[in-house]
Amino acid sequence: MTETIRIIGIDPGLRRTGWGIIETLGNSLRFLASGTVTSDGDMDLASRLCQLHDGLAEVVHAYRPDEAAVEQTFVNKDAVATLKLGQARGIAMLVPARAGLPVSEYAPNAVKKSVIGVGHGEKQQIHMMLKILMPKATFTGNDAADALAIAICHAHHRGGQRMRAVLAG
């Protein structure tokens, strides 16, 4: 029996954390909503993390997803920036986990491959494919678009994850 699953995709960032909500039924995808939670760059780090937490918690509460997917971080040359991104990513994983959702993680290349067919691509390619896959999708900016792409990636991979879990258990 096939059931509708509501997925939240989260693209973590300290300034802007993108989110996108889709529903999947079998192979079909349906856009529900997307947006960005922002933090005030003039505030201290702890306050900014609280802003991200509270904003993301509001989204999870409002849309009641069944599952969550978060993009894995990449390590760049700026260790301080990587650490701060990791903290924002912790919030992006904590909020859905505290709401009782299973949280999956995907590498950026896996997300791109799921949406545009190759592991490396431009933001415009992702935007174009989002419009093809979900013509009613609306998103403002790259963060919300990336979050939708993460949700789509999870929709494509979730069946395989469940099967692996059953076989391993």
- Average pLDDT estimate for 78-84: 85
Mean pLDDT, residues 3-13 taken together: 96
Tell me which residue of 64, 55, 60 sits closest to 16, measured CA to CA: 55
Kindly tell me if the per-residue pLDDT of 114 is higher than 60.
Answer: yes
Label residue 146 by pLDDT band (50, 70, 90). very high
- Model confidence, pTM: 0.91
Point out the least confidently predicted range of 36-45, 80-89, 140-149: 80-89
Phi, psi values for residue 2, rounded to 5°:
-100, 135
Over residues 56-85, mean pLDDT: 90
**Crossing angle for the helix pair 79-98 and 45-63, nearest 10 degrees?**
30
Query: What is the rounded distance in angstroms from the CA atom of residue 146 to the CA atom of residue 162?
Result: 24
**Phi, psi torsion values for 116, nearest 5 degrees:** -110, -5
Chain CA centroid to CA 136, Å: 18
Give the catalytic positions in this structure.
11, 71, 143
